[in-house]
Amino acid sequence: MNEQDKLLYNHFDSYPEGLGEDMIAFARKIATDVPKYRSLAENLRMVDPDSTPDIETVERAAQAGLHDLTVSNRSTTDWYCVLRNLQGEPEKTLEFGIATSGGNDFVADSLFCEWAYIINFDTGEIEIYKGFNTDPAAAGRYASLKDKGDGVEYFGVRLLGTFPLYDIPEDWQGKLLPPNVDEEAA
């Protein structure tokens, strides 16, 4: 919003049938009170995932049941562990008010970022993106991004389509993906 990305990383099932359906439901909820959710998003504090969490946030996250000390370095000095249980929970993330900024870079790595769902408060739309993009001229503002590392010829996620928050079709998947399309070719 305000032309600033605040993208959240999700390590779980991000396919349309999983996180996609959850994000569509959340987008419809946002449409009932855009000013509230826009304010929460504007106030969301994005932290560097490589920084060390402060004690107050660690304790607050523990009380909220957000810690997962079975992943990463298994430590409360790691934001990934401290905020792990917010992944795939955008409303809880907005309410907690803190997220790591790692998602902003992840959309540039479409080999691993297979799907992305972005609530764009500037346009009043939900944007749906697909990974495995090898065309830097594909649709969307992230398609020409290049991940900094592995030398593999994948670019950022490509835009499949957008829907107004107030008018998301029930058959939103059918509007974006032709029937019987192989998942990798979509």
Domain ranges of the chain: 16-177
CA distance 111 to 113: 6
Closest CA to 154 of 115, 100, 112: 112
Closest CA to 40 of 30, 50, 28, 53: 30
Count Cα atoms within 13 angstroms, Cβ side, for 14.
21
Which DSSP state fits 158?
A: E
Task: Encode pLDDT of 26-40 as tens digits.
Answer: 999 999 999 999 999
Find the mean pLDDT for residues 116-139: 95
Task: Encode pLDDT of 173-186 as tens digits.
Answer: 999 886 755 555 44
Kind and range of the H or E run holding 56: helix 55-63
Dihedral of CA atoms 44, 38, 21, 143 in degrees, nearest 10, equals -80
Query: Global pTM?
Result: 0.88
- Amino acid (one-letter) located at 54: D
Mean pLDDT of the chain: 89
Q: pLDDT category, 150, cuts 50, 70, 90? A: low
Task: Encode pLDDT of 95-123 as tens digits.
Answer: 999 998 876 788 888 888 899 999 999 99
